[in-house]
Amino acid sequence: CGKTTVTEEPKKSPDDDKVVAAASGSGFFVSKKGHIVTNHHVIDECKAVKVNYKADEIPAKIIAIDKTNDLAIIQAKISPSKIYAVSKEDVSLLEDIIVAGFPLGKKVSAAIKTSKGSVTALAGYGDNYSEFQTDAALNQGNSGGPIINQKGNVVGVAVALLPAEKAQNIFFGVKSSTLKTFAKSNNINFLPPNNYRDMSNRDLGTLITGGTVFLECWMTVAKIKQMIAQEKNRKAFYSEHK
């Protein structure tokens, strides 16, 4: 008679249920009550989201998500020193912009990092008109960070980059109008934008430093393994998990 083959289930690791710091992203304050804007993919599937603020790790709760436009609003018990206003007008072609956030997590350094560039197209990948394209450098970990103009108004939310093997220097941001519609539908109002003169680089630096935060996603080891195995996963997982 034929031999029966028994397929064994993969053995469960004893660490599978352990919750650890898994991935990072960026976010920015939009209210004195501690509301923070980021990307949905930054907080997706997290057991806990922690905000790094003034050397403390403060837990945040998820207030609203928009999976389609990759946006989320979270809230932490923080009274920020600086909050961002959001532009009432979308970006224009060739407009100068500044991106702030924590690219590559804290592997390079714990300091906030900025890059400058311009708006290179008024639509994102696949003619997505809720996004725009820029040549200001983004890296993994920048996701959810603010894109601002010289007046200090948020004109976009850093959202994605095309892999280097597909194209060079092509990055995307969610438009301010998309962010405002999302926030308004969840009864969250932003500060009115600065319509006066441009801010000095010193004042912009103070705003960026006080208003932008490093976010950390905590997950079970089992969930980390599962998500890393997904082909289209966009999380900035820490290198020790890969």
Q: How many CB atoms lie within 10 A of CB 25?
A: 30
Active-site hit among 35, 40, 44, 70: 70
Those residues whose C-beta lies under 8 Å from the C-beta of residue 84, and which sit 6 or more positions away, are: 28, 29, 30, 146, 148, 152, 153, 154, 190, 191, 207, 211
Active-site hit among 26, 31, 143, 176: 143
CB 29 within 8 Å of CB 38: no
Sign of CA dihedral 122, 128, 132, 137: negative
For 36, the token pair is 């923070």
**Could you give the CA distance from residue 235 to residue 20 in angstroms, rounded to a whole number?**
15
Q: Is 70 strand, coil or helix?
A: coil
Active-site hit among 31, 41, 115, 176: 41
Query: DSSP per residue over 128-183, as a string?
Result: -TTEEEE-S---TT-TT-EEE-TTSEEEEEEEEE--TTT-SS-EEEEEHHHHHHHH
Q: Is 41 a catalytic residue?
A: yes
Give buried/exposed letters for 94-122 (b at 16+ CB in 10 A, else e).
Answer: ebebbbbbbbebeeeeeebbbbebebeee
Place of tokens 């969610």: 174
**Could you give the CA distance from residue 160 to residue 164 in angstroms, rounded to a whole number?**
12
Q: Which residues are catalytic?
A: 41, 70, 143
